[in-house]
Amino acid sequence: MPEVVEPIKQAIAESAEQRSDQRLGLTARRAAILAAVVCVLTLTIAGPVRTYFAQRTEMKQLSASESALRHQIADLEQQKGKLADPAYVAAQARERLGFVMPGEIPYQVQLPPNAALPADPGSAPTAAATNDPWYTSLWHTIADSPHGPPTPASPVAPPSPVPPSPVPPGPLSPGG
Give residue 56's pLDDT: 96
The CB density around residue 99, as the number of other CB atoms within 10 Å, is 12
Q: Is 103 left (phi over 0), alpha (psi -120 to 50) or beta?
A: left
Task: Give the integer Cα–Cα distance in Å for 25 and 17.
Answer: 12
Q: What is the pTM of this model?
A: 0.39
**Angle at the Cα of 17 from the Cα atoms of 14 and 20, rounded to 5 degrees:** 150
Which position has the higher pLDDT, 117 or 168?
117
Give residue 176's pLDDT: 44
3-state SS of the chain is CHHHHHHHHHHHHHHHHHHHHHHHHHHHHHHHHHHHHHHHHHHHHHHHHHHHHHHHHHHHHHHHHHHHHHHHHHHHHHHHHHHCCHHHHHHHHHHHHCCCCCCCCCCCCCCCCCCCCCCCCCCCCCCCCCCCCHHHHHHHHHHCCCCCCCCCCCCCCCCCCCCCCCCCCCCCCCCC
Task: Give the integer Cα–Cα distance in Å for 74 and 67.
Answer: 10
Amino acid at 168: P
Which position has the higher pLDDT, 94 or 156?
94
Task: Give the integer Cα–Cα distance in Å for 80 and 56.
Answer: 36
Give residue 133's pLDDT: 86
pLDDT band for 39, please (50, 70, 90 cuts): very high
pLDDT tens column, 110-165: 888 887 766 666 665 555 666 788 888 888 777 766 555 555 555 555 555 555 55
pLDDT tens column, 17-29: 777 666 666 677 8
pLDDT tens column, 62-76: 999 999 999 999 999
pLDDT band for 173, please (50, 70, 90 cuts): very low
pLDDT at residue 77 greater than cutoff 90: yes
pLDDT at residue 32 greater than cutoff 60: yes
